[in-house]
Amino acid sequence: MSSGPSFAVDAGYPADRVRMGAYLDAWYREIAGLGGIPAPGAPLALSAELRTAYATRVAAVIAKVAALSGASEFELYWANRGRIPPWAWPEPHQRVRGIATPVPAGLRQDPATGAVSMLVSGVSVTYLPDELDDTMSGRAETRSLWQLVPCGYRYTVEDGTEVVIEITPPPSVEVTIQTFFCRDLGPGDPVAYGRGYTPEDVAGAKVHPWSGTVAFHEGLHGMDHIDYLRTRTPPAFGGRAGMTVPQVEAAGQRWVEEWEAYQKRLSAASHARTDDVGLTTYSQYHSVNPAARPDVRPVIYVTPHRPPAQGTPPARQPAVSPPARQPAAAPAAGRDARPVISVTPHRPRA
């Protein structure tokens, strides 16, 4: 370490965003020069000692600015993800081959599919490898498919009333997230608005181009899903044993409706902090490029909740089996029928 970077700071430096930015830029340049920003899937060629020294210094500067400015440390890290390597974020991340979204360190791609899966707040999340969509032009899209897997239940008849005696299995939620590019706008092209085109991201892109690319922007849309699931409690199914069959059915319907609303809020939050920010915002860009605005709305595919109809069972006997855990048929939404949660058209800057 004696011959390596010290990541020093001036004594008594003003703890403001300007000085913090200057330090982050300088340290990012040093780290990049040492191979600290590897290509997706490539190993990190830095010693553990050097990684710790860098991450500790970044954390200290951000904590000081947060304490004196009133901004949260999460907000400051989020704003500066374009000039702090993913492995030095509060939760270390990594860039993997073929997926725009950085994923938590330690996760591995499925050798057969290239997908990366994780469980977040009880939701099964899978990132699929990026794909090319020949039906698009001049934009990239991060699409998500939300599958609400319904519960089955067993019930008995007590004094003429159908009473649920077991929820089996409990309902669950599965989401797959995938980024699509087109032939005239690829992962390495520059963004025109939003993340990738904020002052912090532009500064990072001067050191390493990734911070100003469409892949970087779309990757933050992908990460928005995880952050939202972690910080906004997902809807809980309210059905339980002891309820009547109509009550459990009503609880299932409420659960579906609450998830639809939750997904729409997630989409709006992702748009607000990843699209409508920066030196040029989404709104500003589309005010002068109205033809580039896609006519697409966030949608959610929902597996039917209701179990198949059955006759009246004998008293205190199981009556209804869990429905098959298969997605419902859904109308097409794009080339491969995946719904779009965040549509992000981009035009390379002149």
Q: Where a domain ends, among 90, 113, 135?
A: 90
Closest among 274, 227, 237 to 259, alpha carbons compared: 237
More confident residue, 52 or 303: 52
Domain, as residue range, for 236: 99-345
Q: Looking at the domain assignment, is residue 350 inside a domain?
A: no
At residue 114, the 3 state secondary structure works out as: coil
Q: What is the mean pLDDT of residues 323-345?
A: 33
Do 27 and 129 share a domain, yes or no? no
Q: Looking at the domain assignment, is residue 11 inside a domain?
A: yes
Residue 304: is its pLDDT beyond 90? no
Do 144 and 277 share a domain, yes or no? yes
Quick: pLDDT tens for 267-286. 999 999 999 999 999 999 88
Average pLDDT, the chain: 83
More confident residue, 294 or 276: 276
More confident residue, 128 or 350: 128
Do 9 and 68 share a domain, yes or no? yes
Q: What is the mean pLDDT of residues 111-121?
A: 97
Q: What is the mean pLDDT of residues 299-304?
A: 33
Do 81 and 108 share a domain, yes or no? no
Quick: pLDDT tens for 246-274. 999 999 999 999 999 999 999 999 999 99
More confident residue, 221 or 150: 221
* Cα Rg of the chain (Å, integer): 24
Q: Where a domain ends, among 73, 90, 107?
A: 90
Do 9 and 104 share a domain, yes or no? no
Read off the pLDDT band of 126 (50, 70, 90). very high
Beta bridge partners of 175: 125, 146
Do 1 and 30 share a domain, yes or no? yes
Q: Where a domain ends, among 90, 123, 142?
A: 90
Contact 241, 166 (CB under 8 A): yes
Q: Looking at the domain assignment, is residue 188 inside a domain?
A: yes
Do 243 and 279 share a domain, yes or no? yes
For residue 289, the model assigns a pLDDT of 75
Q: What is the mean pLDDT of residues 89-97?
A: 97
Do 66 and 198 share a domain, yes or no? no
Q: What is the mean pLDDT of residues 295-301?
A: 33
Give the number of domains in the chain.
2
Do 14 and 108 share a domain, yes or no? no
E strands along the chain, which residues? 93-94, 103-104, 116-120, 123-127, 131-132, 139-149, 153-158, 161-167, 172-181, 340-345
Asked if the peptide bond before residue 169 counts as cis, ω within 30 degrees of 0, the response is: yes
Do 76 and 106 share a domain, yes or no? no
Read off the pLDDT band of 15 (50, 70, 90). confident
Distance CA 65, CA 17 (A): 7
Contact 144, 264 (CB under 8 A): no
Q: What is the mean pLDDT of residues 77-89?
A: 97
| Residues near 21 by beta carbon (within 8 Å), at least 6 away in sequence | 80, 199, 200, 203
Do 221 and 249 share a domain, yes or no? yes
Annotate 27-75 with DSSP letters as a single string.
Answer: HHHHHHHTT-SPPTT----S-HHHHHHHHHHHHHHHHHHHHHH---HHH
Crossing angle for the helix pair 245-270 and 214-231, to the nearest 10 degrees: 140
